[in-house]
Amino acid sequence: MSDKKSLFKNVRVIIFILALLASIVLIHPGYTPGEGMTTKLNYGLDLEGGSWLQIKLQGALVQVDADPGMIVSQMVEPVIGAPIQITGSNLDVSGVSSSDSYITFTTSVPVSASQLELLDLGSVSVDKLNQNTTQVTLTTSKETLIQAYLSKAFDAEVISLSTENGIVYEIRTEASEEEIQALMEKVGGTILKNEDGTSTYKEGVSTNTRDLTRDILNDKLNSLGLKDIPVRTVGEDYILIDFAGIDLATAKDIAEKPGKFEIRIQTTGNETQHVLYGDSIVNVGIPTYHDNQWHTPFTLNEEGARALQKVAIDTGATDYPESHYLNMYLDENKIYGAPLSYSAASRLKESPIYSWEASTGTDEAAKTEASMLQIHLRAGALPVNVVLVGSGHVDATLGKQFKTEAVIAGLISLIAVAAVVFRRYRRPEILVPMVGTSVSEVIMILGVAAAIGWQLDLAAIAGIIAAIGTGIDHLVIITDEVLYEGKLPPTKVFVSRIGKAFAIIFGAAATTIIAMSPLVVMGFGALKGFAITTIIGVFIGVVVARPVYGVVIKELLEADGNGSQESMAD
Amino acid sequence: MATGLTEFLDNFVKNHDNRQLLAIPLAVLAVSLAVLLVSFASSGSPVTLGMEFQGGTQISVETTDSPAVLEEMYSSYPIKDARQAGSRVIMQFGVMDNEEQRQLEEDVMGRFSNVEIKQIGPVYGQELQVQALQAIFISFIGMSIVVFLIFRSVVPSFAVVLSAFSDIIIAAAFMRVAGIDLSLGTVAALLMLIGYSVDSDILLTNRVLKRRGLVEEKVSRAMQTGITMTTTTLAALVVMYVVSTFPYLVIPSFTQITLLSQISSVLIVGLLADIMNTWLLNTGILRWYVMKPEFRGRYNR
């Protein structure tokens, strides 16, 4: 009996037992009549039923250089309808503070400052030098000019990001390297090269933009009353949305509604100009009926309200609202258009307006339109264009079936393994701890999964099987090492044998972990789960479970009378 | 099975010289490489790329209709293949635009129950393909480095790496011949194979290099342990294969789990190849190496 006591004093054994108990608590198995087994484990969609969508964020990151003067000519000349002459610039001089950097040009036609301010080239001051010459000074920077140029060319938002390698421009729509190169050549510029000679062009968006998009989507789905829809980023520019218990068609409806929302204002004829994006909309109210009209109320933030005021004044909408409709677009499709009301137009001349109402009409159709508008306005704020690149759907009953089958496969596999082990050793003192160790490794892997909220899907189950498979291999190595002469050696020899066994096991485990780690880093969907589960499993096995197996079989074999009747075929 | 196999292999190894031992696995490796090369030359890819890497849609439904009926039913869509799996039919479609995709999905969902749909865009598929190849390549390199670090001697490490390489090549050639597509599941299986296959090789090399005793004795001891390891794993995989591939034989309503079925079938072949590669190829090289005159029997006493 003293042996038994020493077993439970062994630190490894204590840790093992604690880890096992903790895992069981974490998994929290229970039985509810009618519902069957319940646990705290999370299952992936392929076991739970539901659908998933994977979307790609379209965009490009690039470093470029250009001649500021040519950009200004390119952009200003079509607006004023006359050639310009660049007369001075310090934009290419380094060390000038941003408030002092400028570019000036002259032209023969009259120019209004507001006309030019619309181009986002910087702050504009216009001096009439004489009858035939107008001088314009833009207080600006090269980045601002390039940003404005690219933004105009792609009709999309362009952000400049300072990195340690210089300014990187993020174009928030699909933009190929060739397109950008052609555009830059027009203004005496080019796409810059990295130090190693490769192009700085990179398809995709920055991590911040990706995370922002994810957060907005998250918000949006939750605000539609769909709680707990996990929106995850996958790799560099993919976002994965899991819709548990929702079929694919509904999921697409939900996800495709949120899009890029934009308000544009009519300038002349059919031409429109950007006013604001959905991210300027801070609040959307429930449609109301008053003044014989259906209205969808919404609120703009400071930036949005000021932008709308500025554009309304600049385009003349405050004076002639009827010829300057405000149009709303969702993913480039016009969804609403109306002029400013006369009262709003006159108020705008004085101050920005934050609270707005979009009126849709009087009838039933108008009511529907108003409520659609509500969703669209709320759904508006994705900063980049997205495309659907993958999707999937598993019926809930099918998922349940998969789960049952996976469990059955696991159990029968375990019995098969036990049978092979028993055939080989023909001793329950080896069989029981071996199977016990494997089972406890599974429990601990599940415990970790429950603790970190890891989703168990079919790939993760494959990972568990992989970990258990190598686990059994390792237990066989330990057993054969310990019983090298066919019987249990004296304690001193036993310790060195265990050491040798672990030298092999650590080597084998290290190769498995190394072999799986690229998948964790590269991280594409299903295989990432597989790799992480395998690594967790192998790690738990090597560190927690397998050392205990060595101790336990020694105790059991000693209790059994030194295991002299070993049936190893020599 | 384990004991019989061990005895047979043990005798085989004892009664043949190193050259003879190497001949069989190297011939199988050569044939497998030839299969992959011919496939690469004729189709541009050594293995058949599955839907996940090419882009397209896979829809599996529960139905009593035959695959031919379904193929006819959806002939206005780019249907490529329809096949039976128990009480289900699995259909493969080519790339469709969003509108068409949606129409198809609505039709299928309205008509059938227990539907499973998986769709991958061609661009994403391309990206997955590149990533999967990179993953296999990096895993293999990483494994090789660890093996070299463990043994710190070139020939034995090389033998382990060659044997793992051969396992993967043979498994891949099997996939090509048996018509198993390269999917995320089978990539996982090939990666698992890297982990499994080195286990027994490391055991063998460790025993032979770091243990006292006659080489012959050490090899056959290692073989007993190693074959037990591989057969236990094989037993588990065969069960997994049967349960995930033919579950409807037991309970008619049960469904094939394609992912697990693919993983287990590739692993079974890979592990069978591993038995050959470990105990003929790796053993042959290792035995030649440790018996070299310059070691003066250092490893054989």
Residues of B with Cβ-Cβ distance to A471 under 8 angstroms: none
The pLDDT value given to residue A491: 81
Contact A16, A544 (CB under 8 A): yes
pLDDT score recorded for residue A259:
59
Residues B83 and B183 grouped into a single domain: no
Say whether pLDDT at A6 is over 70: no
What's the confidence (pLDDT) of residue A95?
66
Range of the domain at B111: 56-120
What is the average pLDDT score of chain B? 88
Taking the Cβ of residue B111 and every Cβ of chain A, the question of whether any pair is shorter than 8 Å is answered with: no
pLDDT digits (tens, 9 = 90+) for A370-411: 767 766 675 545 667 778 888 888 888 888 888 888 888 888
- Which residues on chain B are in Cβ contact (under 8 Å) with A415? 239
Q: Write out pLDDT tens, residues A85-114.
A: 888 888 777 666 667 788 888 888 888 776
The H-assigned helical ranges of A257-295 are none
Mark whether B98 and B221 lie in a shared domain.
no
Q: Of B116, B196, B235, which has the smallest distance from its Cβ to A419's Cβ?
A: B235
At A219 the pLDDT is: 63
| pLDDT tops 60 at residue A356 | yes
Domain A260-378 carries which CATH code?
3.30.1360.200
Chain A residues within an 8 Å CB radius of B143: 511, 514-515
B64 and B45 inside one domain:
no
Residue A125: in which H helix or E strand, if any?
strand A123-130
Is B134 a member of any domain? yes
Cβ(B49)–Cβ(B172) below 8 Å: no
Using a CB-CB cut-off of 8 Å, the residues of chain A touching B200 are: 473
Among A52, A405, A511, A532, which would you mutate to test the B interface (most chain B Cβ atoms within 10 Å of its Cβ)? A511
Q: Are residues B135 and B284 in the same domain?
A: yes
The CA distance from A369 to the nearest CA of chain B, in Å, is 23
Residues B184 and B81 in one domain: no
- Given B70, B90, B120, the domain boundary residue is B120
What CATH number was assigned to the domain covering residues A2-49+395-559? 1.20.1640.10
Q: Closest to A248 (Cβ–Cβ): which among B117, B206, B225?
A: B117
* Helices A428-451 and A11-27: angle between axes, nearest 10 degrees: 50
Residues B182, B250, single domain; the answer is yes
pLDDT in tens, B60-92: 888 888 888 888 888 888 888 888 877 788 888
pLDDT-based confidence at B223, cuts 50/70/90?
very high
pLDDT, position A2: 44
The span from the CA of A375 to the CA of A221, in Å, is 11
Average pLDDT over residues A279-294: 77
Position B169 pLDDT exceeds 90: yes
More confident residue, A393 or A282: A393
- Tell me, what's the pLDDT at B38? 95
Nearest to B138 among A518, A534, A568 (CB): A518
Q: B259 at the A interface (CB within 8 A)? A: yes
Contacts of B243 in chain A (CB under 8 A): 405, 408-409, 412
- Specify the higher pLDDT residue, A523 or A556: A556
> Residues with Cβ < 8 Å from B207, sequence gap 6 or more?
B218, B219, B221, B222
Same-domain check for residues B63 and B11: no
- Both B99 and B223 in one domain: the answer is no
User: Are B106 and B187 part of one and the same domain?
Assistant: no
Q: Look at residues B120, B136, B170 and tell me which one is the last residue of a structural domain.
A: B120
A526-537 pLDDT, tens digit each: 678 888 888 999
Of the given ranges (A28-37, A126-135, A422-431), which has the lowest mean pLDDT? A28-37
Q: Are residues B67 and B15 in the same domain?
A: no
pTM: 0.75
Q: What CATH number should be reported for the domain holding residue B243?
A: 1.20.1640.10
Over the stretch A191-243, which tens digit does the pLDDT of each residue have? 888 888 888 888 888 887 787 777 767 766 765 556 667 777 777 778 888 88
CB B2 to CB A420 under 8 A?
Answer: yes
**Residue type for position B277:** N
DSSP class per residue in A532-545: HHHHHHHHHIIIII
* B-chain residues near A477 (CB < 8 A): 203, 225, 229
Q: Do B43 and B81 lie in a common domain?
A: no
Per residue in B35-49, pLDDT (tens digit) is 999 999 998 888 888
Whole-number pLDDT of residue B261: 87
Phi-psi region of B213 (alpha: psi -120 to 50; beta: other; left: phi over 0): left
Task: Convert the pLDDT of each residue in A459-479 to its tens digit.
Answer: 888 888 878 888 888 899 888
Q: Considering only residues 194 to 223 of chain B, which have any Cβ-Cβ distance to chain A shorter than 8 Å?
A: 194-196, 198-200, 202-203, 206, 210-211, 221
- The residues with which A199 forms a beta bridge, in sequence order, are A193
Per-residue pLDDT at B188 exceeds 60:
yes
Q: Does residue B301 fall inside a structural domain?
A: no
Sign (positive/negative) of CA torsion A437, A438, A441, A447? negative
Residue B196 included in any domain:
yes
Position B139 in a domain: yes
The pLDDT value recorded for residue A383 is: 64
Which residue of chain A is at minimal alpha-carbon distance from B233?
Answer: A469
Extents of the domains making up chain A: 2-49+395-559, 62-203, 260-378
Please check whether residue A471 is in contact with residue A447, taking contact to mean a CB–CB distance below 8 angstroms: no
Q: pLDDT tens digit string along B89-109?
A: 888 898 888 788 888 888 888
Nearest chain A CA: its distance from B50 CA (Å): 14
**Closest chain B CA to residue A479:** B225
Calculate mean pLDDT across residues A187-192.
Answer: 86
Say yes or no: do domains A2-49+395-559 and A260-378 share a fold: no
Q: Which of B198, B230, B235 sits opposite A511 (nearest CB)?
A: B198
pLDDT of residue A224: 59
The better pLDDT of the pair A385, A306 is held by A306
Taking contacts as CB-CB distances below 8 angstroms, the residues of chain B near A501 are none
Q: Is the pLDDT of residue A493 over 50?
A: yes
CA distance A168 to A171: 10
Assigned domain for B300 exists: no
Percent of chain B with pLDDT over 90: 32
Q: Which CATH number belongs to the domain containing residue B64 in this structure? A: 3.30.70.260
Separation of alpha carbons B285 and A175, rounded Å: 55
On the question of pLDDT at B141 being above 70, the answer is yes
For A48-75, how does the pLDDT look when each residue is reduced to its tens digit (9 = 90+)?
Answer: 888 888 888 888 899 988 888 888 888 8
Check B206 against A405: CB less than 8 A apart: no
User: Rounded to a whole number, what is the distance in Å from the CA of B188 to chain A's nearest CA?
Assistant: 7
Q: Is the complex ipTM more than 0.90?
A: no
**What confidence score (pLDDT) does residue A567 get?**
40
The CA distance from A126 to the nearest CA of chain B, in Å, is 50
In B, which residues are within 8 Å of A461 by CB distance? Answer: 260
pLDDT number for residue A285: 67
Which bin fits A309, alpha (ψ -120 to 50), beta or left (φ > 0)?
Answer: alpha
User: For chain B, how many structural domains are there in total?
Assistant: 2
- Per-residue confidence (pLDDT) for residue A155, from 0 to 100: 76
pLDDT at A35 over 70: no
Q: Are residues B111 and B255 in the same domain?
A: no
